[in-house]
Amino acid sequence: MKSYEEINRRIEAKKAVVLTAEEVIEYVEKKGIEEAAKEVDVVTTATFGAMCSSGCFLNFGHSTPRIRITEAWLDDVLLYSGIAAVDAYLGATQLRHNDPANMDYPGAFKFGGGHVIEKLVAGKPVQLFALSYGTDDYPRRELRTYITIHDLNQAIMVNPRNCYQNYNVAVNAGERPIYTYLGLLKPGLKNASYSSAGQLSPLLNDPYYETIGIGTAVWLAGARGHVYAEGTQFSSLCERGPNDVPMEGAGTLALTADMKKMHPKWVRGVSLVGYGVSLALGIGIPIPILNPQILKRTTVKDSEIYAPVVDYSQDYPNRTGKILGRVSYAELKSGEITVQGKRVPTSSMSSYAYALEIAEILKDEIRRGEFLLSPPLERLPLGKSMKPLPIRGRSQ
Partner 1 sequence: MNTTKKVLFYFPKSETEKPIVYQLVKDYNLMVNIFRAKVTPDEEGYLLLDITGDSSDIDRAYQWIRSLGVQIREDVKGMRWDENGCTSCGACITQCPTAALHIPDRRTMRVWFEADKCIECMNCITLCPFGACSSQF
**Residue 228 lies near partner 1 (rule: CB under 8 A):** no
- 334 near partner 1, judged by CB under 8 A: yes
List the beta bridge partners of residue 267: 281
> With CB under 8 A as the contact rule, which of the stretches 145-153, 206-214, 321-329, 342-350 interacts with partner 1?
342-350
Q: H-type helices in 163-272, by residue range?
A: none
- The reply to whether 50 sits near partner 1 by the rule CB under 8 A is yes
Nearer to partner 1, 31 or 333 (CB): 333
String of DSSP letters for 134-175: --SSS-B-EEEEEE-GGG-SEEEEEEEEE--SS-PEEE--SS
Give residues 179-208 in contact with partner 1 (rule: CB under 8 A).
183-184, 186, 190-193
Determine how many CB atoms are found less than 10 A away from the CB of residue 395.
4
Q: Smaller CB distance to partner 1: residue 87 or 118?
A: 118
Is 308 within 8 Å of 323 (Cβ atoms)? Answer: yes
Distances (CA, A) of 356 to 19, 47, 284, 293, 352: 12, 8, 10, 24, 6
Q: Does 108 bind partner 1 (CB under 8 A)?
A: yes
CA distance 314 to 312: 6
In the complex, the smallest distance separating the C-beta of residue 40 from partner 1, rounded to whole angstroms, is: 22
Stretch that binds partner 1, among 10-18, 209-217, 333-341, 372-380 (CB under 8 A): 333-341
Nearer residue to partner 1 within complex by CB, 37 or 121: 121
> Rounded to whole angstroms, how far apart are CA atoms 119 and 128?
13
Residue 47 or residue 132: which is nearer to partner 1 going by CB? 47
Strand partners, 178: 185
**By CB under 8 A, residue 345 contacts partner 1:** yes
* CA dist list (Å): 103 to 35, 187, 275: 61, 22, 12
Distance CA 391, CA 278 (A): 27
Q: Does 162 bind partner 1 (CB under 8 A)?
A: no
Between residues 132 and 346, which has the closer beta carbon with respect to partner 1? 346
Between 172 and 211, name the residue whose CB sits nearer to partner 1.
172
Does residue 259 bind partner 1 (CB under 8 A)?
no
Assess 352 for contact with partner 1 (CB under 8 A): yes
Identify which of residues 299 and 346 has a Cβ nearer to partner 1 in the complex.
346
CA angle 27, 29, 35 (to 5 degrees): 70
* Contact stretch for partner 1 (CB under 8 A) within 44-52, 53-61, 135-143, 240-248: 44-52
Q: Does 273 bind partner 1 (CB under 8 A)?
A: yes
Nearer to partner 1, 131 or 184 (CB): 184
Q: Which of 353, 364, 377, 382 binds partner 1 (CB under 8 A)?
A: 353
Q: How far is the CB of 106 from partner 1 (least distance, A)?
A: 9
Q: Tell me whether residue 63 or residue 191 sits nearer to partner 1 (CB atom).
A: 191
Residue 272's H or E segment, with its range, is strand 267-272
**Identified binder of partner 1 from the candidate list 77, 285, 349, 362, rule CB under 8 A:** 349
How many residues bind partner 1 (CB under 8 A)? The answer is 34
Q: Which amino acid is at 287?
A: I
CB of 115 to partner 1, least distance (A): 9
Contacts of 359-365 spanning 24+ positions with Cβ under 8 A: 359/20, 359/21, 359/22, 359/44, 359/45, 359/46, 359/200, 359/284, 360/20, 360/44, 361/219, 361/222, 361/284, 362/44, 362/46, 362/219, 362/284, 362/286, 363/18, 363/19, 363/20, 363/42, 363/44, 365/219
Give the residues lining the site for partner 1 (CB under 8 A).
48-50, 108, 110, 183-184, 186, 190-193, 268-273, 278, 280, 333-335, 345-354, 356
